[in-house]
Amino acid sequence: MSSQYMGKHVIEDAKRCLQCKNPQCSLGCPVGTPIRDAIQLLLDSRIVQAGALLFDNNPLSLICSHVCPQENQCEGHCVLGKKGSPVHISAIERYISDYYLNIYKPLPSKKTAGKIAIIGSGPAGITIAFHLAKKDYDITIFEGNDQIGGVLRYGIPEFRLPKSNLDRLLDVLLKCGVRVRPNTAIGTSITIDDMFRDGYQAIFMGTGVWRPYKLGLRGESLGHVHYAIEYLRNPDVYRLGRRVAVIGAGNVAMDVARTVLRHGSEEVFVISHLGEDSVTAREVEMEYAKIDGAQMLFYQSAVEFVDEGVVLADSKVSVDDHGFEFAEPVPGTERLFAVDSVIIAVGQGPRAVIVSNTTGINVSDKGLVAVDDCGRTSRPGVFASGDVVTGAKTVVEAVNVSRRVADAMAEYVRETAIVNLKISEIAEQ
């Protein structure tokens, strides 16, 4: 789509906004994006003010305009959508935020408020870095990979989220005075104890969920079986062959299927043990996968991986006492489904490197970091939010919680400084 056409489309849609007294679009957004006000500023030729309004509310506004499930949030709550088509809010937000990020010149942090470490540069880490840098904290981001972004860079395909947007966010972070230390895994050479020793007054953990869940089936270690989160990290290094099966039916499975087709495979099958009505992927993502050529196979369970492909069986779906559907393979229906490669996309959990090498940080029975409503862990001074706390969620949900966590971290550093000052005064007496 040309920028000229895109601009015309944005203006026409912005003019459709009713400027509701109580905008439902903002109520439907987890971070309460001031959509009505931003649209009015845009129409008043005040796009810089509109961009500042969006960025101050959500520094990942441009990212969210690409990847949010708008049909369930802002656009899903637009009153025009009740009898027709809602305002295309994501396109308007993208236009404003893209413009603003090009011209934004932040004031660099004075680094006078305290020293804070951020482990992981995914949505949660980036959000907290921006909020705390604005409050004049001295921020260092420790990133295990060579570039920032976390799941945004290594888990979402380029065709859904151009990586250049993350490069631009990095530029803004650096202009804010944030230090970024790439290729640094915390919990191995450097520990949280080392960080406290070196003067960091609070530490944030936003390491995401990078450990793929396995099915536990015979043959899962064979050479043609792969995991989705690892495949999406760098699809170019895989040689999957002509026919590929994707096990799972969430958004990640759809991303994998569409990526595989873009990398030369001719037939891709998305296999779900439940029916189409129970698919967890967004409807639009499944439609795109179908348009791109993915074939959907429902009520099919993988029971074994073999050199020739995957053994499937028909699924019998039942409902448990809590009303949740579960599926079991029907004995006697097993047959070989011949494919060159299989990619398992049934979710992922956190790696335990940091927690296992740090005392005092409690985790849940699922291995997720246990926190209170403000992201405080069981160890004083250590905070966490994002997927490492909640499991895989949307970007905007991570942003929403992380704003609250950033405030709690600032409060902790201030209170600790006051306590230390009093202790010092008493010691001097």
One domain, residues 385 and 293: no
Percent of the chain at pLDDT above 90? 79
- Torsion sign, CA atoms 47, 49, 55, 57: negative
Whole-angstrom distance, CA of residue 264 vs CA of residue 275: 28
Band of pLDDT at residue 172, cut at 50, 70 and 90: very high
Residue 293: give its domain's CATH number.
3.50.50.60
One domain, residues 158 and 137: yes
Q: What is the mean pLDDT of the chain?
A: 92
pTM for this entry:
0.91
**Domain end residue (candidates: 56, 75, 103):** 103
Band of pLDDT at residue 319, cut at 50, 70 and 90: confident
Amino acid at site 43: L
Whole-angstrom distance, CA of residue 208 vs CA of residue 122: 7
Write out pLDDT tens, residues 204-235: 999 887 788 899 999 999 999 999 999 999 99
Band of pLDDT at residue 327, cut at 50, 70 and 90: confident
Strands 115-119 and 309-319 come out as: unpaired
**Secondary structure (DSSP) of 355-422:** HHTSTT--B-TTSPBP--TT-B-SSTTEEE-THHHHSS--HHHHHHHHHHHHHHHHHHHHHHHHHHHH
One domain, residues 249 and 341: yes
* Lookup result for tokens 């949660």: 124
DSSP bridge pairs for 309 = 306, 338
CA distances from 242 to 113, 264, 298, 308, 338 (A): 57, 8, 21, 13, 11
One domain, residues 222 and 311: yes
Q: What are phi and psi of 126, to 5 degrees?
A: -65, -45
pLDDT of residue 1: 44
Q: What are phi and psi of 327, to 5 degrees?
A: -125, 145
Query: Hey, what are 157's tokens?
Result: 């395909």
Q: Is residue 69 part of a domain?
A: yes
Whole-angstrom distance, CA of residue 205 vs CA of residue 194: 15
One domain, residues 170 and 250: no
Query: Hey, what are 357's tokens?
Result: 């090498």
pLDDT of residue 417: 82
- Section 290-300 average pLDDT: 97
pLDDT of residue 360: 82
Q: Which residues, 6 or more positions from 98, have their beta carbon under 8 angstroms from its beta carbon?
A: 62
Longest dimension (CA), the chain: 83
Q: Is residue 331 part of a domain?
A: yes
SS3 category, 8: helix
Amino acid at site 421: L
Whole-angstrom distance, CA of residue 342 vs CA of residue 339: 7
Domain count, the chain: 3
Write out pLDDT tens, residues 177-211: 999 999 998 888 899 999 999 999 999 999 887 78
- Torsion sign, CA atoms 224, 228, 233, 235: positive
* Lookup result for tokens 């049934």: 346
* Cβ–Cβ under 8 Å, residues 185 and 262: no
Write out pLDDT tens, residues 387-411: 888 877 889 988 999 999 999 999 9
pLDDT of residue 414: 93
Q: Is residue 110 part of a domain?
A: no
**Domain end residue (candidates: 317, 348, 379):** 348
> Is 50 exceeded by the pLDDT of residue 5?
no
One domain, residues 261 and 409: no
Query: Hey, what are 213's tokens?
Result: 């869940």
CA distances from 124 to 63, 236, 270, 399 (A): 13, 27, 30, 6
Q: Is residue 109 part of a domain?
A: no
Q: Is residue 108 part of a domain?
A: no
- Torsion sign, CA atoms 177, 399, 394, 117: positive
* Cβ–Cβ under 8 Å, residues 120 and 350: no
Q: Provide the residue range defining the domain that includes 293.
A: 213-348
